[in-house]
Structure 1
């Protein structure tokens, strides 16, 4: 799945959308199966989205696909589909052989007519998107795809079947989304690999959204977590457990001068953030979904660090760890902390910005989760 957000003015294709263009998007599966269905979203569209056609193929290098693997995607048997503003459609099942956890697929969407602004995911950490003029759905090589974006567009998810084991959703911000991580190295990817190696393979869906906050919307970083929790977690097929790692931006942004991306930028209290977590727990339990609380990771030395934000993190983490209100707890804060100064990321786990872990850090996070809690 992909956590989606409204178009913004950053360096991406969301504001302009597409017209007589093909968009090829490379994604990575977290579980295997024999059939795949794509989901196309027009969640933030201002007009119906006219998708002329789509293909799904096994990805090769860059924007190329494995020869002979591309298959057309139908929608109720039709080649094209109209997605209403605010709506979503699911393609018919496509049979593909050899789908395993880690398989990379290329989803190609062709828009003959102007789409208007695009519902999208800004930081696609597991692959890239490529744009070409005209209808390039059948192109095997990547020659026609001369433009590249780090974002995904209109693609809400790829569902692989059979998937009767249920799924885990990792819900959070850029740390969950895997900022700085190589493809396959985000903590949810590594957790999926751990489960598969243990003989308990199950899909791990990534609902991370860079810059996202639990309590406050952003023009650049998506709707607040309280709002998107139902769509991105509870409404996902087969959700059984959610890992909640969000709040660091709620604590940190008020310590920075406000920008167009962080406005509104209200100061918050530990009690307000805890009340937000309680809302997530209540809504999840009402749907029979388990909730694993994850402690907020160290960030001393990052731009959002102050004495005040550190105090808030300490109070919130104490509640996560000791309140007993979550079904289980994963202590990422302790796993990543510098033994000489627990308010900092250990140097061996620091990507360099003192906020986001590196690949070794993401691996430690995945290893810190008790698999029996999932």
Structure 2
């Protein structure tokens, strides 16, 4: 990774791994349930910036859609329990969750929620289930467009440990805010199974996340350090092409590098498959220049953002594009979009690592015009000095014999998305000290 002045720093400062306290024995009925349920406000979307919390895991919310086949977002839920497994990048002694109704058309009623240590499939570790509250109430109503956090709960968790968040939705929710490409299995059961230890009742599965947009941790180390990393982009950041339930996206691999170096760090993935910098796309989220404030700047303790986005701006104008074509984006317009993101980050004191766009030869985006724009944009990334540092993911994953194509060993098979080995190579290319 090249810095603004062309230097590469290699020194490593080791931080001691936090020692987690023993998990307290708190039964599922230890918290009283007030008669009046808590109600969140839309302003809660930015309540996660307090110094006591740092991001353990995140996913960017999307509007309900099903461009590649059925999922649960368009119909929503009614008398369903949804169990979702995520891996946190850094640990702590307390935890809380973030829930989003950003794209809901009506208020969302959460009847109850739990957090637990994940076991195999839809099961959780015995004795680890903790009931969550929202303003000391077991239930919560999130207005349309709103986001809310649970109260913090004692829940010692280690870096790279998988946790399970379970939501019980008693009444009809209507279409659900979700994250399309989870790369992980979510589970659904009929009825209230939020405290189940086994996964027996969870007979339905999906590879999307629903309502859950964050897991935050505190304790175990100084939460006031602004050393969190957000990866922002499209499907390559989202991890499309990596193995399901394996946590092999490049941000996952980056988190593993921090842990191996003895300094676990908050690494949050805010990629959305299909997303563009400059155009909204019905199935792929709001344009990057609009969602950046909501998804990145609302995260606590962020010091660096890795910005890699633009392939869909370039390729989305093809007539056969999923969901229909979007307006053609010139290189100048894409550059201005990136400059807008850089300005937004710098206004909050956040460092920006820019990335080149990875190869498209042989893919559904491969046309002479698209390749010319990709190359022109990459040249700007490498030479403009607009970022605080640059990582050349194009060179990292391309075939040395044909720089327009992904190296076969790194190709997931569609010639645009890396596979597990490609994502690992991308993470290895990042200089931990620059982050």
Which TM bucket (shorter chain)?
over 0.9
**1:257, distance to aligned residue in structure 2 (A):** 2.3
Structure 2: give runs of 5+ residues left out of the alignment.
1-57
The 5 Å alignment of 1:189-228 reads 189-228=252-291
For 2:165, the equivalent position in structure 1 comes to 107
**1:256, distance to aligned residue in structure 2 (A):** 4.2
CA distance in 2, matches of 1:114, 1:272: 42
Q: Is 1:307 aligned to 2:368, yes or no?
A: yes
CA distance in 2, matches of 1:255, 1:135: 46
CA distance in 2, matches of 1:109, 1:356: 32
For 2:207, the equivalent position in structure 1 comes to 150
The 5 Å alignment of 1:139-178 reads 139-162=196-219, 163-166=223-226, 167-178=228-239
CA distance in 1, matches of 2:185, 2:341: 31
**1:101, distance to aligned residue in structure 2 (A):** 2.1
**1:73, distance to aligned residue in structure 2 (A):** 0.3
CA distance in 1, matches of 2:352, 2:261: 22
- 1:347 counterpart (408, 419, 425): 408
| Cα 1:352–1:119 shift into 2, 3 Å | same
Q: Secondary structure, in 3 states, of the residue corresponding to 1:55?
A: strand
- 2:295 counterpart (232, 235, 238): 232
**1:258, distance to aligned residue in structure 2 (A):** 4.4
**1:286, distance to aligned residue in structure 2 (A):** 0.7
CA distance in 2, matches of 1:89, 1:191: 28
For 2:389, the equivalent position in structure 1 comes to 328
For 2:124, the equivalent position in structure 1 comes to 65
Q: CA RMSD in A?
A: 1.1
**Cα deviations across residues 188-242 of structure 1 (Å, max 9, x unaligned)?**
0111111222233211000011111111111111111111111111111111110
CA distance in 1, matches of 2:118, 2:433: 34
The 5 Å alignment of 1:1-374 reads 1-10=58-67, 11-97=70-156, 99-125=157-183, 127-162=184-219, 163-166=223-226, 167-182=228-243, 183-259=246-322, 261-263=323-325, 265-374=326-435
Mean CA deviation greater in 248-257 or 102-111: 248-257
CA distance in 2, matches of 1:64, 1:320: 45
Of structures 1 and 2, the one with the larger relative CO (CA 8 A, separation 6+) is 2
**1:359, distance to aligned residue in structure 2 (A):** 1.0
Q: Secondary structure, in 3 states, of the residue corresponding to 1:281?
A: helix
**1:112, distance to aligned residue in structure 2 (A):** 1.1
**1:9, distance to aligned residue in structure 2 (A):** 3.6
Q: Is contact 1:255-1:305 (8 Å) kept?
A: no
CA distance in 2, matches of 1:353, 1:220: 20
Q: Secondary structure, in 3 states, of the residue corresponding to 2:279?
A: coil
Q: Secondary structure, in 3 states, of the residue corresponding to 2:317?
A: helix
**1:109, distance to aligned residue in structure 2 (A):** 0.3
CA distance in 1, matches of 2:253, 2:66: 32
**Cα deviations across residues 129-185 of structure 1 (Å, max 9, x unaligned)?**
111111001111111111101111111100011333331000011111111213221
TM-score (norm 1): 0.97
Q: Is contact 2:231-2:306 (8 Å) kept?
A: yes
**Cα deviations across residues 22-56 of structure 1 (Å, max 9, x unaligned)?**
11111111111111100111101111111110000
Which aligned runs of 4 or more in structure 1 are off by greater than 6 angstroms? Answer: none
| Cα 1:256–1:349 shift into 2, 3 Å | farther
